[in-house]
Structure 1
Amino acid sequence: METVGIALLGVGTIGSAVLRMIREERERIAERTGLFLDVRWGLARHRERVVQAGLSERAATTSIEPILADPSVQVVVEVLGGEEPAAAYMKRALEAGKHVVTANKEALSKHFAELVAAAREHQRALLFEASVGAGIPLMVSLRQLLTTNRLHRIRGIVNGTTNFILTLMAEEGVPYQEALRQAQELGYAEPDPTADVEGYDAAYKLSILASLAAGRHIRPEVVERRGITTVTPDQILDARTRGGAMKLLAEAELADETWRLRVRPVFVPASDLLAHVRLNLNAIELTGDRVGTIVLYGPGAGPSPTASAVIADVLDAVRFGPALLPNLEPAT
């Protein structure tokens, strides 16, 4: 039995869920994999938050330094969110010889090539299944597809918050602000919902997916982005009358060797599978030259699905190391 030392950067909703799931499942995981997961450190702005999450005072830190200096830490799990200090912490962890697992789409989409290069230089894993689609096995599917396919289209619903809001507006006639309030009460939307409703979150996720398909870093700034705040009740009603639905779609398409990335609310007819994706669920279409179009569907948000993906990545990081790193050139 091998013990895997883990440092958890962030003990908020997702970090606490990861810690809780490790405690509940570690015996079963050990039986199945021969790996015993042991969370050695928890990092937060205040040590009290780490203790409240269930770790000891000795395991609590407000600094990355003791984590980087601890040889018993094999995997750093980054669930801080936001660009910084998350991106800097991930790079330093890789340079210190730690595997890195992240659920952070913003930091990854903005620093993807840099982080992959650091992981490759130091022969460490960088895994990010939970960054797009939470519990949907999207990255593992992409890795498999890209071995034999050239992807030329990515299309889907990748933001559960906006899909929830649009579903309530369409099916129950709920006004936008009330639908947003309900999303916030259920924990689907942040107190400041800008990243979701203005399409930034979807743009970060699309950037990651398109970068993997292209084999080079496509930065989120190049995504043509429009959120759902411009969607009117008349548009919602018209879509429903026509048998379809308004959806915030993330689309990346390859034409003449150039990728075009767009996030925007559009009418989706009833004949399209994406029209029937409700509430906070996600669905992503991947189209390759050999396999055709496949659709991946499931919970795209939430603490439990995200924690499940994070822990699976921790196990893969230890078992496979840098073997799962994508080929990714810097942005041009």
Structure 2
Amino acid sequence: MNDRQVGVAILGLGTIGSAVARAIREQGDLIAERYGLRLVVQAVLERSRDRAARADLPPETIATDLATILSDDGVDVVVEVLGGEQPAADFMLRCLRAGKHVVTANKEALAKHFGELTAAAQEAERALLFEASVGGGIPLLVSYRQILAANRITRVRGIVNGTTNFILSQMAEQGTAYDTALAEAQRLGYAEPDPTADVEGYDAAYKLAILASLMLGRHVRPDEVDRTGITGVTAEEVAAARERGGAIKLIASAERDGDAVRLQVAPTFVPGDNLLAHVSANFNAIELTGDRVGPVVLSGQGAGPLPTASAILSDVVEAARVGAAANVVLGA
């Protein structure tokens, strides 16, 4: 049986985009063997030819404007890894309206434009998949979809930012000062040169807004989240929590309260008998609670090029296999 070719366009060839291109090349035979799909990098939106060369992509795949990709009938799935709100949100809308499936890891653009993006996907009957935007390499939304099939989600709670978890873990386990732990996180590539989005809780708030939107069946905006970062956490507070047998973690939580929902991102004392207290380094863990299944905890690497590319590639395969049927059904 001949493999069906699936053309993939990648918007942005930074760390994640390059990892996706490599994953397509390295996992191509495995995907073809399992699913009969031959993924091909049809185009990349990237101004730097050097980046394309480093990703082992031929020069003819480079597109310097989105219109080239939109008009290319050989592009079936667009992977958006530009980061930031704009032009990423606008590009995703245009791709969906042009009849392309969209896969993204962009939590900010998705959290701020969730309603219009999901509506555009529904109207175009195209997939909008975003596993990598919330849990990195954790198969979170796959599990979310299964739980929603027979449950009403009553609570989402967890550690969704690996940078802050690494910093707090270093402070607790090594007695490291905050500034020193942050510098180490930056050295290891867990934190950006400007760490504001992580340490002030914006990244966690974006992810929580996406999960809450799925839970409630409406667009929950990031500014609805009561947000506090970790910059005010002292070494004394971390040590005191450890003496009590627990830990301070940056916890994101969405909990139903009748017809309303309480949304919060804040440093929180977690008792030692709770699994979240023992999630260390740059790992994430999310607890989903259904009214029938009860609590389900998922844990794994929440960031990094390899886990993120793995989640993106899985979404590309799902989009190619089943199209819009792969979209997560909204809760209520």
Q: Does the residue aligned with 2:135 lie in a helix, a strand or coil?
A: coil
Q: 1:262 aligns with which of 249, 261, 264?
A: 264
Q: 2:87 aligns with which of 85, 90, 93?
A: 85
Look up the match of 1:288.
Answer: 290
Q: Distance in 2 between matches of 1:91 and 1:48?
A: 28
Q: Distance in 2 between matches of 1:81 and 1:7?
A: 16
Cα pair 2:145 2:329 within 8 Å, conserved: no
Look up the match of 1:164.
Answer: 166
Q: Structure 1 unaligned runs (5+)?
A: none
Q: How far is the alpha carbon of 1:52 from its aligned partner?
A: 2.8
Q: Does the residue aligned with 2:214 lie in a helix, a strand or coil?
A: helix
Q: Does the residue aligned with 1:18 lie in a helix, a strand or coil?
A: helix
Cα pair 1:198 1:226 within 8 Å, conserved: yes
Q: Does the residue aligned with 2:190 lie in a helix, a strand or coil?
A: coil
Q: Distance in 2 between matches of 1:45 and 1:168?
A: 39
Q: Distance in 1 between matches of 2:64 and 2:238?
A: 47
Cα pair 1:116 1:326 within 8 Å, conserved: no
Q: How far is the alpha carbon of 1:327 from its aligned partner?
A: 4.6
Q: Work out whether 1:64 is the aligned partner of 2:66.
A: yes
Q: Does the residue aligned with 2:300 lie in a helix, a strand or coil?
A: strand
Q: Does the residue aligned with 2:113 lie in a helix, a strand or coil?
A: helix
CA deviations 1:108-140 (Å, max 9, x no partner) are: 111111011111111111000111111111001
Query: What RMSD over aligned residues (CA atoms) do the two structures have, in Å?
Result: 1.1
Cα pair 2:160 2:286 within 8 Å, conserved: yes
Q: Does the residue aligned with 2:99 lie in a helix, a strand or coil?
A: coil
Q: Distance in 2 between matches of 1:88 and 1:314?
A: 20
Q: Distance in 2 between matches of 1:37 and 1:309?
A: 15
Cα pair 1:216 1:327 within 8 Å, conserved: no
Q: 1:222 aligns with which of 221, 224, 232?
A: 224
Q: Distance in 2 between matches of 1:200 and 1:44?
A: 27
Q: How far is the alpha carbon of 1:57 from its aligned partner?
A: 1.4
Look up the match of 1:177.
Answer: 179
Cα pair 1:116 1:328 within 8 Å, conserved: no
Q: Distance in 2 between matches of 1:290 and 1:176?
A: 41
Percentage of pairs with the same residue: 63
Q: 1:104 aligns with which of 101, 106, 112?
A: 106
Q: Work out whether 1:76 is the aligned partner of 2:82.
A: no
Q: Distance in 1 between matches of 2:267 and 2:223?
A: 18
Q: How far is the alpha carbon of 1:328 from its aligned partner?
A: 5.0
Cα pair 2:215 2:330 within 8 Å, conserved: no
Q: Distance in 2 between matches of 1:288 and 1:259?
A: 15
Q: How far is the alpha carbon of 1:21 from its aligned partner?
A: 1.2
Cα pair 1:75 1:99 within 8 Å, conserved: yes
TM-score (norm 2): 0.97
Q: Distance in 1 between matches of 2:27 and 2:328?
A: 29
Q: Distance in 1 between matches of 2:329 and 2:278?
A: 34
Q: Structure 2 unaligned runs (5+)?
A: none
Return closer, same or farther for 1:190/1:271 CA change in 2, 3 Å cut-off.
Answer: same
TM-score (norm 1): 0.97
Q: Distance in 2 between matches of 1:327 and 1:134?
A: 20
Q: Distance in 1 between matches of 2:43 and 2:52?
A: 9
Written as runs of structure 1 = structure 2, the 5 A alignment for 1:43-54 is 43-54=45-56
Cα pair 1:47 1:61 within 8 Å, conserved: no
Amino acid at match of 2:232: T
Q: Distance in 1 between matches of 2:239 and 2:50?
A: 49
Q: Distance in 2 between matches of 1:45 and 1:291?
A: 48
Look up the match of 1:192.
Answer: 194
Q: 1:317 aligns with which of 311, 316, 319?
A: 319
Aligned residues: 329
Amino acid at match of 2:188: L
Amino acid at match of 2:217: G
Q: 1:6 aligns with which of 5, 8, 13?
A: 8
Q: Distance in 2 between matches of 1:309 and 1:325?
A: 15
Q: 1:18 aligns with which of 11, 17, 20?
A: 20
Cα pair 1:113 1:328 within 8 Å, conserved: no
Look up the match of 2:115.
Answer: 113
Cα pair 1:277 1:283 within 8 Å, conserved: yes
Look up the match of 1:29.
Answer: 31
Q: Distance in 2 between matches of 1:290 and 1:113?
A: 28
Q: Distance in 1 between matches of 2:39 and 2:153?
A: 36
Q: Distance in 2 between matches of 1:122 and 1:211?
A: 20
Q: 1:201 aligns with which of 199, 203, 224?
A: 203
